[in-house]
Amino acid sequence: MNEILNLGLENKVVIITGAGKGIGYETAKVFKQYNCKLSLISKTLDDLVQLKKELDLNDEMIYIQEGDASDEEVVKDFVNKTMEKFGRIDILINNAGMRFRKKFIDIEYNEWKNVINVNLGSTFLFCKEVGKHMVEQKSGRIINMASIIGTLGLPELVGYGASKGGIISLTKSLALEWAEFNINVNVIAPGFCETSYTENFKQKTELYNFTLERTPLKKWGNSKDISNACIYLSSDLSNYVTGEILNVDGGWSAW
C-alpha cells in the first residue's frame, strides 16, 4: 500500500489575499485538501461566497472578508479578525495584485502609484501585520507572489515589473531579518499562466505565440502549477528553504 506523505499542513491557518479569482482561488482549493483552516480576502465578496460554497467547509474552518488588501485599516482589521477566530496564523500567501500594459512615456503618475501600492504595498502591509504574530509565536511561512518580470523585464509592463522586483527584494530582506524567529519567507515568480487575468493577452495572437516559442516547455502554466508551489513552500518539505525565488515558468528564466 502506498504511504501518503505527511506535509505537516493539517490544521494550519492560512491567509490568502486575492483569493476571489485565478491563482488565489485555486490555491485555497488545494490547501483545503490538506485540511487547513482558511482566511480569505478579496475585493469582490461574491467571488468569496462562491468559493466558500465550492469548498464546502464549515464555519470553524474558514473566514472570508471583502476588502482592499492595499488599505492599511482593512488589513489590520482582517488580520485581527483572523487571530480572533483561529488564534494563530501559520501561513501567509500574498497573492493580491494587478497590472496594466502601457508604453512607459504614456504612464500617468497615478497609474504608477496604483500598481506599486496594490502589488508591493499590499505585500508590505500583510507581511507587517501578520509578521508581528509570527514573530511572537516564533514560527511561520510567508510566500509572496512576484513574477519573472520582476527580474527579467518586459516592455509596456514597467510599473508591474518594478512592483514585482520590489516584492523580491522585500522577501529576501525579511528572510534574513526573521530567520531567528523560525519564519521562512520565499517568493514565487510565475511565468505565463492561463488565468482569468490573462485571457485578453492570449487574444493577441502574435504575442501569445512568441511566449510559447520562447518558453522551453512550449506551453503556458496554470493556476494549479502555482498553487502546488505554494504547498511546497508551506510544507515540511521546504524547512531549509528561505529567501529564495521559485521560478514556475516552464524554463523561461533559464535563458
Fold of the domain built from segment(s) 13-250: Rossmann fold (3.40.50)
pLDDT, tens digit, for every residue of 5-26? Answer: 789 999 999 999 999 999 999 9
The per-residue pLDDT for 61 is: 98
**CA 215, CA 250: separation in Å to the nearest integer?**
6
Active-site annotation holds for 160 = yes
Q: What is the pLDDT of residues 128-162, one digit of tens each?
A: 999 999 999 999 999 999 999 999 988 899 999 99
Which amino acid belongs to residue 148? I
Q: Is the pLDDT of residue 203 over 80?
A: no
Average pLDDT (214-235) is: 97
The predicted-structure confidence for 45-58, as pLDDT tens digits, reads as follows 999 999 999 999 99
pLDDT digits 0-9 by tens, 56-76: 999 999 999 999 999 999 999
Q: Enter the DSSP assignment of 5.
A: P
pLDDT computed for residue 207 by the predictor:
82
Band of residue 107 on the pLDDT scale cut at 50, 70, 90: very high
- Written in H, E and C, the secondary structure of 47-101 is HHHHHHHHHCCCCCCEEEEECCCCCHHHHHHHHHHHHHHHCCCCEEEECCCCCCC
Query: What is the arithmetic mean of pLDDT over 179-185?
Result: 99
CA distance 127 to 236: 21
Is the entire prediction scored with pTM above 0.85? yes
> Which one from 25, 63, 109, 160 is the annotated catalytic residue?
160
Query: What region does 153 belong to: left with phi over 0, alpha with psi -120 to 50, or beta?
Result: left
Q: Is the pLDDT of residue 3 over 70?
A: no
**pLDDT number for residue 4:** 53
